[in-house]
Amino acid sequence: MPTTPHRYRPEEIEALRARYRAERDRRIRPEGTAQYRRAAGEFGYYAKDPYTEWTERDPVHDRVEAVVIGGGFGGLLTGARLRQAGVQSIRVIDEAGDFGGTWYWNRYPGIHCDIEATVYMPLLEEVGYVPKWRYAPGEEIRRHCVAVAKQFDLYADTMFHTRATELRWDEDAAEWHVRTDRGDDFRARYVVVGSGTLTQPKLPGIPGIETFRGHTFHTSRWDHGYDLAGKRVAVIGTGATGVQVIPSIAPEVGHLYVFQRTPSSVDVRGNRPTDPAFAATLRPGWQRERMDNFLTLVTGGHVEEDLIDDGWTSTARLQRQMLTGTVDTSIPAEEREYLDELADFRKMDEIRARVDDIVTDPATAEALKPWYRYMCKRPTFSDFYLETFNRPNVTLVDTADHGGITAMTETSLVVGENAYEVDCVIFATGFEVGISGVISGTLPVYGRGGMPLLGHWRNGPRTLHGFYSHGFPNLFHLGSLQNAAAVNFTHVLQEQATHIGALIGAAAERGAQRIEPTAEAEEAWVTTIRETAPVNFDFRAECTPGYYNGEGKPRPVNNSFGPGPVVFHELLRTWRAEGGMDEVLRS
């Protein structure tokens, strides 16, 4: 790798731009997101819970103070903050069989979180836990979720394997009626929707997919009962999940065929056990300090010392603009874009050089090189992935020229002229991107006077700070919609849970029945979002296709707060401290 930054000649810049465009054009498919199939109907078994047995229970018709929809980190953090605010009766609902959200569903071999555990795993100090590894394995994170639920007594009133199907506001009683797919119909003063964004597995729309007679499953519903030893196995997909699964199963299987459409950028991981000497230095407040340090760095801010110092923080300048839209306004926009592009070329050249350093077969190495800008796809990190392609029992099948796998038959996967006979197909093909059931319409919400929330939002979402809407009292949304977005999403969720906890705590203290923004406050926030939302439409439109950009057809509207999460969290703190609550608490 070059020690001094390579300076690009104008013709080199043009050549890179042309190569990126050509790779994008080669990859784009006219159907866009319609190329995928839902894991529903005849494919519904791909979404079934393989980990916890489904048990019959009677429908519930009672009342709770707060219901939290979603038992992942959003729900856990909210539950914790509500307990700390003195809320006694909290019910968590989830379609899964236990707490954990993404970490409940994703249990594939090799699963780790690629953000340092000390900043990713929330509530470590509250639970009194120091992660064992720098990048935690999924099982350690899942157990932490369970520990958080126990610590804050959230198991007391859970409804697992249950999906909320309707929320209806009763103005006289000032409470919500909550209906579920288990026949429950109960009341709750507060509802918090934290049902995640990447939860529903999706399948590629490969012609003939239904005819395949071998074994199949999706990575997020791993079949641990199926013995891969000695089998001919196909993995479809080389995103962040594929990059972790592929090296983990390669030593075990007979032969592994990796079906790649677009290569990931794969940077150095450097995982290691937590140093006991480091753990011994930790003083109260340590996690907050590390989380703040990481968030500031990856959103383009300045800190005296980079406490995390990993692939994310070192490439922070690149992510700055793409993830949050924050920019150094002292440099003219055009020059800033040019400098960002050069930094991006440098980073991607490093990533491509790493492929050449590791992969011995030149044709395989060539196929593994990503030709797009760094943040067009989720960056990945692994010290084992590229090495796996040097194994004699692993074949990379590059499907880019065909827009993916061409067909499936009873026994094989077909790419152009070639058929690959396999015993098992593992779909590492990702998830449907939704904001929540509220947006997709699978969880209809009716507010004051029976107004449907999607009706109120017919011209786009309308909230104050992303949390709540006028006409829909005591209903809170978690997520980045009109709120903040960040690569360490649990940090954002923690701030959201803190805000909701503070509001509900204040309502109890003051005897307020309703928490609801005025129509004016909502309108003002919609305007703020419109005016500040990051203008990265062109960037996203020119990127290689993927779920980040609607498969090459991004929506022109971006709905997160442009100045970024650090500014947003400060804004919320100031709002709370300076009497904002008075505007939303009502009798």
Question: With respect to ligand NDP, which residue has the nearer C-beta, 88 or 211?
Answer: 211
Please give the Cα distance from 273 to 2 (Å, whole number). Answer: 30
Please give the Cα distance from 451 to 446 (Å, whole number). Answer: 5
Question: With respect to ligand NDP, which residue has the nearer C-beta, 307 or 428?
Answer: 428
Question: With respect to ligand NDP, which residue has the nearer C-beta, 74 or 237?
Answer: 237
Task: Assess 108 for contact with ligand NDP (CB under 6 A).
Answer: no
Task: Assess 47 for contact with ligand NDP (CB under 6 A).
Answer: no
Task: Yes or no: say if 515 and 503 are a contact pair by the CB < 8 Å rule.
Answer: yes
Task: Yes or no: say if 468 and 516 are a contact pair by the CB < 8 Å rule.
Answer: yes
- Which strand (E) or helix (H) includes residue 90? strand 90-93
β pairing state of 202-204 and 255-260 = unpaired
Span of 82-90, 236-244, 269-277, 463-471 interacting with ligand NDP by CB under 6 A = 236-244
Choose which of 253, 428, 484, 581 interacts with ligand NDP (CB under 6 A): 428
Shortest Å, Cβ 198 to ligand NDP? 5
| CA 299 from centre of chain | 17
Q: Which two three-digit tokens encode residue 560?
A: 């997160």
Name, in order, each residue with C-beta under 8 angstroms of 123's C-beta and a sequence gap of 6 or more.
76, 77, 80, 148, 151
Shortest Å, Cβ 205 to ligand NDP? 7
Task: Assess 138 for contact with ligand NDP (CB under 6 A).
Answer: no
Q: Which two three-digit tokens encode residue 555?
A: 């929506």
Amino acid letter, residue 537: F
Choose which of 180, 262, 265, 412 interacts with ligand NDP (CB under 6 A): 262
Shortest Å, Cβ 491 to ligand NDP? 13
Choose which of 197, 199, 200, 429 interacts with ligand NDP (CB under 6 A): 429
Choose which of 74, 100, 196, 204 interacts with ligand NDP (CB under 6 A): 204
Task: Assess 242 for contact with ligand NDP (CB under 6 A).
Answer: yes
Shortest Å, Cβ 381 to ligand NDP? 8
Task: Assess 124 for contact with ligand NDP (CB under 6 A).
Answer: no
Please give the Cα distance from 372 to 375 (Å, whole number). Answer: 8
Task: Yes or no: say if 185 and 178 are a contact pair by the CB < 8 Å rule.
Answer: yes
Shortest Å, Cβ 192 to ligand NDP? 23
Please give the Cα distance from 127 to 130 (Å, whole number). Answer: 9
Question: With respect to ligand NDP, which residue has the nearer C-beta, 176 or 427?
Answer: 427
Please give the Cα distance from 131 to 136 (Å, whole number). Answer: 7
Please give the Cα distance from 46 to 43 (Å, whole number). Answer: 6
Task: Yes or no: say if 120 and 138 are a contact pair by the CB < 8 Å rule.
Answer: no
Task: Assess 259 for contact with ligand NDP (CB under 6 A).
Answer: yes
Question: With respect to ligand NDP, which residue has the nearer C-beta, 205 or 505?
Answer: 205
Task: Assess 198 for contact with ligand NDP (CB under 6 A).
Answer: yes
Task: Assess 236 for contact with ligand NDP (CB under 6 A).
Answer: yes
Q: Which two three-digit tokens encode residue 427?
A: 């779909």
DSSP secondary structure string, 127-156? Answer: HT---SBSS-BHHHHHHHHHHHHHHTT-ST
Task: Assess 182 for contact with ligand NDP (CB under 6 A).
Answer: no
Choose which of 90, 323, 405, 585 interacts with ligand NDP (CB under 6 A): 405
Binding residues for ligand NDP restricted to 533-572, rule: CB under 6 A: 546-547
Span of 61-69, 108-116, 302-310, 438-446 interacting with ligand NDP by CB under 6 A = 108-116
Span of 142-150, 173-181, 384-392, 427-435 interacting with ligand NDP by CB under 6 A = 427-435
Choose which of 91, 232, 261, 569 interacts with ligand NDP (CB under 6 A): 261
Q: Which residue in the block uniquely carries the two structure tokens 């061409």?
A: 406
Question: With respect to ligand NDP, which residue has the nearer C-beta, 261 or 373?
Answer: 261
Task: Yes or no: say if 159 and 34 are a contact pair by the CB < 8 Å rule.
Answer: no
Please give the Cα distance from 29 to 551 (Å, whole number). Answer: 8
Task: Assess 206 for contact with ligand NDP (CB under 6 A).
Answer: yes
CB count in 10 Å sphere of residue 181: 12
Question: With respect to ligand NDP, which residue has the nearer C-beta, 63 or 555?
Answer: 555
Task: Assess 72 for contact with ligand NDP (CB under 6 A).
Answer: no
Q: Which residue in the block uniquely carries the two structure tokens 């999460």?
A: 565
Choose which of 239, 325, 471, 565 interacts with ligand NDP (CB under 6 A): 239
Please give the Cα distance from 187 to 175 (Å, whole number). Answer: 6
Choose which of 162, 241, 313, 321 interacts with ligand NDP (CB under 6 A): 241
Binding residues for ligand NDP restricted to 340-399, rule: CB under 6 A: 378, 399
Report how far apart the first and last C-alpha atoms of the chain are (Å, whole number).
Answer: 65
Please give the Cα distance from 521 to 473 (Å, whole number). Answer: 14
Enumerate binding residues for ligand NDP (CB under 6 A): 27, 112-115, 198, 204, 206, 236-242, 259, 261-262, 378, 399, 404-405, 428-431, 546-547
